[in-house]
Structure formats: C-alpha cells, structure tokens
Amino acid sequence: MDKSALKSEFLGYFGGNASGIRIFTSPGRVNLIGEHTDYNGGFVFPAALTLATTVLARPRADRKLRLVATDLKIVVEADLEDLQAGRGLKWGNYQLGVADELQKAGYPLVGCDLLYDDKVPLASGLSSSAAIEVATAYALVSLGAGKPIAIDPVKMAKISQTAEHNFVGVMCGIMDQFASAMGKKDHAIFLDCRTLDYEWVPLVMEGVSIVIANTNKKRSLGEGKYNERRSECEQGLEILKQALPAATCLRDVTAAEFEEHGQLIADPVVRNRVAHVVYEDDRVLRSVEALKSGDLVLFGQLMNQSHDSLRDLYEVTGKELDALVDAFRKVDGVIGARMTGAGFGGCAVALVRNEALEACEREVGAAYRAAIGHDATFYVSDVGDGAREVTA
C-alpha cells in the first residue's frame, strides 16, 4: 500500500488537504474447507489474506457520502437521509447497505468522502464484497465517533452480513465477514457459524504454501444459484425434522442420522444438497484436527473430497473450477486442491510443496489454458490480520 499515492489520488477527487484523512483496511479471505456450511449453521475454516481493501476516509460538513474506487474512477454520491435510493447501483450498494444498517443499529454517522483501493480480485470467490463491507463499517463508525475508538469486530461482521441480506439481496452466511473482521496473521479460524464460537488455529505448514488460482470467470451470487442452494437446504431440513424434530439447522444432523433418515427426502437433488452439507461439516472437524497434529496429507485428502462433493452433490463448481482442480491434482508436490468460495467461477485453493511452486503454476496454467481457452491468475498469498485502522 502506497499511502502517499493514495492520499494524492484522494485529494485529486475530493480536494482539500490530507490532514483529516484516515485509513482503514480489511482483507479478503480464503476458505480452506467448509463450503456452503455457514448458512446452514455449520463449521468453516477460513483464513484472512494479505490481499485487502483499503479505504481512505475524511468527514464532510454535510450528510453526503461520496465514494470512488481507484480502478473505476467514477464518483458515486448518496445522502445519509435517503440511502435506499442507492439500491440499484452497480458499484457502491455494498457500502450504502452497510451505512444503512449502521444507522438502524444506532451508530451516529457523518457525511464523508471515501476512496477505495481494492486488491481483492472482484467476483473471484475471495470475498471482495466482505472486505469492502467490513472496511466501510470500520471507516464509518470511526468517523462518526470523531476519534479513534475500540470497535467490536464481531458486531461489524454481523452488520455487514445483514447489509448484504437486506440491501444487496444475497442471503450469505457469516463466514466471509467474520474472517475479514477477525483474521489473525499465520492462523486460520475454526468458526462455529451457529454460535460464533471460534478458535485461531496456527497454520504450521513448513515447506508448504497456499496457492490460489483464479479462473478469471467472474460470477455474481445474486444472479447465480446461491439463494437457490440455500432454499434447497431449508427444504431438506424441514423434511428431516419429521424424524429429527430437535434439529434447528443442518449442522444438527449427524452423518449417522442422515444415513438413517436421508431417504425421507424424495427429491434426489435436495437429498444431494443436504448430503454435501452434513459430510462437509464432518470434513471441517477432521481437517482442524489434522492440521493441529501436522497431518497435511490427510488435510489435503479432505480438501479433495470437499471439491468432489461440491462438484457432484452441490453442483457449484463448473468446468473452469473443475479444470483448475484437475490440473492441480496432476502435479507432483500438490497435497490437495479444491474450489473456494461460493463457486460458479472464482478461485481454487491448493496446498503446494514449495519446491513444486514454479512447476505447479507453469503446468496448471498450461493445462487450464488448453482446457478453457484463457489464462488463470495465480497468487501465493500470506495469511494476514483482519480489519483495522492503518493510521489515525
């Protein structure tokens, strides 16, 4: 992050001087395992990345919000008294949704100018939306308070999730926002999405790196099948309640219980959706224990099983993600690979031995290009901290 260059760009759009500018950042995330379990009350295992959204913010004397992104160059303006007018924006609706929910929650907000510098690839499955939401929440709450204050990261995660539900129309789970707010350097987060109990688990992977490969197929959850999958899970849960009346979410259904009662779900598609969630929760629990004991081989096997389930049972991978994962698995030195994020495009994640990194990118890149016709983009990202103010 070049703070001086960003401040200069900010002043180019909004004028004035740099003395009142404050800087906030919030990261994207990679989910190591536990996909489409969060909105079913289940377990996930994400880690915050060093790829992040940075926001420069300065208060205004009126009630206007003015937003611009370094890559879009278009200033969006909204009024804190009429945020609903921004619902149809192609860019800016996530930020305005957060402002709307913060006001509903009683946070005092002030008008401000905001410059966004997004390093999380958009529509990649690395949760650029959560990074934007949480960074916005930190900036607006801090400027509204008028001074640096202690901010509850879990509250900011919840408000950001609600904004995405109510303003954007995507019924996402809590994982993305929680990971963006609560990330810790060199740790993954073992999160219980029902209770929000969590544990930071050290990522001790000597000689092994996390490699992320972007299909460069952009996706939109609102236009895709995300809400449909959520509805199918809810249908399956209601049917299973005939035999398991105490179940409040699919997380409450054990693998043994599903094997005993799963045939109650007559629709094979709905049954497959439920099967994925039930067994994916079990894979998360086993993965956390594998990582704690240093068994990266087992962890990689569970990653592979996760992708296969997302492909065959949940049907959210698609040819691009499958091509990437298939190519990863053919390279010596790759321990495991799977899609990460909601799917329908976006990214795959792999555990790769360091001596194989160069060959991995070369061979996977060539195989993907041959199969799909365009290039993938590769990132070897560190695991970083969550949302914070960079400077006062």
- Per-residue tokens: 273: 């959706």
Using an 8 Å Cβ cutoff, are 245 and 218 in contact? Answer: no
Q: What is residue 222's predicted lDDT score, i.e. its pLDDT?
A: 45
Q: What is residue 220's predicted lDDT score, i.e. its pLDDT?
A: 56
Write the secondary structure of the chain as one string of H (helix), E (strand) and C (coil): CCHHHHHHHHHHHHCCCHHHCEEEEEEEEEECCCCCCHHHCCEECEEEEEEEEEEEEEECCCCEEEEEECCCCCCEEEECCCHHHHCCCCCCHHHHHHHHHHHHCCCCCCCEEEEEEECCCCCCCCCHHHHHHHHHHHHHHHHHHCCCCCCCHHHHHHHHHHHHHHHHCCCCCCHHHHHHHHCCCCEEEEEECCCCCEEEEECCCCCEEEEEEECCCCCCCCCCCHHHHHHHHHHHHHHHCCCCCCCCCHHHCCHHHHHHHHHHCCCHHHHHHHHHHHHHHHHHHHHHHHHHCCCHHHHHHHHHHHHHHHHHCCCCCHHHHHHHHHHHHCCCCEEEEEEECCCCCCEEEEEEEHHHHHHHHHHHHHHHHHHHCCCCEEEECCECCCCEEEEC
CA gyration radius, the chain: 21
C-alpha closest to that of 284 among 188, 220, 367: 188
Q: What is residue 381's predicted lDDT score, i.e. its pLDDT?
A: 79
Catalogue the active-site residues. 176
* Domains present along the chain, CATH in parentheses: 3-201+386-391 (3.30.230.10)
What is the widest separation between alpha-carbon atoms in the chain?
68
Using an 8 Å Cβ cutoff, are 213 and 378 in contact? Answer: yes
Return the residue matching tokens 């569970």.
302
Q: Which residues of 187-199 are buried (b: 16+ CB within 10 A; e: fewer)?
A: bbbbbbbbeeebe
Using an 8 Å Cβ cutoff, are 258 and 247 in contact? Answer: no
- Per-residue tokens: 342: 């909601």
CA dist 183 and 152 (Å) reads 13
Angle at 368 between CA 364 and CA 374, to 5 degrees: 130
- Per-residue tokens: 86: 């921004």
CA dist 240 and 261 (Å) reads 7
Query: What angle do the packed helices 268-292 and 296-312 form, to 10 degrees?
Result: 170
Using an 8 Å Cβ cutoff, are 66 and 57 in contact? Answer: no
pLDDT in tens, the chain (392 residues): 689 999 999 999 999 999 999 999 999 999 999 999 999 999 999 999 999 999 999 999 999 999 999 999 899 999 999 999 888 888 999 999 999 999 999 999 999 999 999 998 877 778 899 999 999 999 999 999 987 789 999 999 999 999 999 998 888 889 999 999 999 999 999 999 999 999 999 998 889 999 999 999 866 554 468 889 999 999 999 999 999 999 999 999 999 999 999 999 999 999 999 999 999 999 999 999 999 999 999 999 999 999 999 999 999 999 999 999 999 999 999 999 999 988 888 899 999 999 999 999 999 999 999 999 999 999 887 899 999 999 75
The strands making up 208-214's β-sheet, listed across from edge to edge, are 334-340, 347-353, 208-214, 377-380
Q: Model's pTM, two decimal places?
A: 0.91
C-alpha closest to that of 326 among 263, 260, 376: 376
